[in-house]
Structure 1
Amino acid sequence: MTHGPDSVDSPVDAALLERVLECLRVQPSGLTEHALIGQLRAAGVEPFAGARLQEPLSLFQTHFLLFHCLYRLRDHLLGQGEWVSIHCLDIGIERASGGPGAGAAGLPAHRDPLRTYYLDLTQLERMDTAAVEALLGEFWLRLGRDQRREQALAVLDLADPVDADTVQRQYRRMAQRHHPDRGGDTATLQQINAARWVLLADR
């Protein structure tokens, strides 16, 4: 499989990409990142099966590698008229509507800053535990204000207009639902925390 010209050489082999694609084909309508990782672990797919998800650094590495695979699959499947939707709460395959080189919304794939981030493996290589803890807030700040808000609204399953009280109520509901002590996962909870602060800071 090939990937975009602006991505670095990847050690991820075609066999691993095929295993991820197999899981997506089983549920093309979509599944969460947590569920997809769970399927890969249950199937014994390395390095996901051996990941220590209770450790922040290993959790980040698992998340990054999965999204790296997803963006490479998106680039590959675009040539077949398919689009991989990539979001921590909704990952799936749909028909591309914008023609060659465009995503489901008709936007060129290479304009996606998340794609640039996840295809750059130096982002993964430079991370340690301390950097992981500081990553999320810094990452969101690198995105443009409008895109940052759009991503945050999607994470919290909200739509504008929203006020601070609505944001806080929805945050509490989702944080309780996705807390690791209740069967959720740390990565999703971190996304929820970051989304709350993005929306509150925008007011």
Structure 2
Amino acid sequence: MNNDLACDLDLADQLLILLREEAGGCSEYQLIQRLKTHHSTHVPNLPLTDRLVLFRTHFLVFNALYRLRDRLWGERSGHLQIGALHIQLLPYQAGVAALSEHDPLRDYYLDMSNLRDTSEEDVEKLLTSFWTRMQGGEEKRAALELLGLDGGTQRLDLAVIKRRYRQLVSEHHPDRGGSTTRLQSLNLAMEILERYYS
């Protein structure tokens, strides 16, 4: 693919092109960086260190992802898995992910007034609320359990966690008869724990 995404394409179409190139999926951050590399005019080409810029970029990307997911589902041409840490385009499978279920996140991101009406102060409150919930540790606890580091008395730091992660990746790698799904779960757990222990 050339270095520029067609400017006349909607952001959802640009994301579809990028996700088709990432068979194993990718993170939102990777998608944003690829959009910037390909000179997309739909996301601000500003550093993500400014919280309001970060929020607006995130909102625009997730708005486009939910629109794309709805479209693919309607066309029966694919299923878009949208997660906080992993986004992946999958083949369409009837009945696997019915869009009829109420999805408050979808509602939030498809309501453009949430983009327009969110101030820098609102973003600060959202981030504080998010990190307060995360400190509750459900995500962290689940990631530690997956790596088998949840019940020991051993002092945990990033070096210990990485050592255990590498050991499990070696055991469960598909090239050694392991499961791709298990490997993806280990990668996700490591991504989560790096946030807590870096």
Cα-to-partner distance string for 1:125-170 (whole Å, 9 max, x where unaligned)? 111111101114546999xxxxx95xx36995755x996989x958
In 2, the alpha carbon distance for the partners of 1:82 and 1:49 equals: 28
Aligned partner of 1:22 in structure 2 is: 17
TM-score by length of structure 1 reads 0.59
> How many pairs are equivalent?
155
Q: Percent same amino acid among aligned pairs?
A: 33
In 2, the alpha carbon distance for the partners of 1:46 and 1:93 equals: 23
Given that 1:155 and 1:192 are in contact with CA atoms closer than 8 Å, whether structure 2 keeps it comes out as no
1:78 Cα deviation (Å)?
0.7
In 2, the alpha carbon distance for the partners of 1:165 and 1:122 equals: 47
Cα-to-partner distance string for 1:50-87 (whole Å, 9 max, x where unaligned)? 23311000001001110110000000011224111111
Matched residue SS, 2:10: helix
CA separation of 1:115 and 1:125: change in aligned 2, threshold 3 A: same
In 2, the alpha carbon distance for the partners of 1:34 and 1:96 equals: 25
Cα-to-partner distance string for 1:100-147 (whole Å, 9 max, x where unaligned)? xx52xxx435422211111111111111111101114546999xxxxx
Given that 2:26 and 2:87 are in contact with CA atoms closer than 8 Å, whether structure 1 keeps it comes out as yes
Greater RCO structure (CA 8 Å; 6+ sep): 1
**1:28-107 alignment, distance < 5 Å:** 28-48=23-43, 50-79=45-74, 80-99=76-95, 103=97, 107=98
List, as ranges, runs of 4+ consecutive aligned residues in structure 1 with deviation greater than 2 Å: 13-16, 95-99, 107-110, 136-142, 152-159, 161-166, 168-174
Counterpart pick for 2:99 among 105, 108, 114:
108
1:48 Cα deviation (Å)?
2.2
Matched residue SS, 1:93: strand
CA separation of 1:24 and 1:130: change in aligned 2, threshold 3 A: same
CA separation of 1:25 and 1:154: change in aligned 2, threshold 3 A: farther
Aligned partner of 2:172 in structure 1 is: none
In the alignment, structure 2 segments of 5+ residues that lack a partner are 1-7, 163-190
Superposed CA RMSD in Å reads 3.9
CA separation of 1:77 and 1:141: change in aligned 2, threshold 3 A: farther
Q: Which has the larger radius of gyration?
A: 2
Aligned partner of 2:165 in structure 1 is: none
In 2, the alpha carbon distance for the partners of 1:81 and 1:60 equals: 30
Given that 1:74 and 1:84 are in contact with CA atoms closer than 8 Å, whether structure 2 keeps it comes out as yes
Aligned partner of 1:118 in structure 2 is: 109
TM-score by length of structure 2 reads 0.61
In 2, the alpha carbon distance for the partners of 1:170 and 1:78 equals: 42
Q: Which amino acid aligns with 2:123?
A: V
CA separation of 1:154 and 1:95: change in aligned 2, threshold 3 A: farther
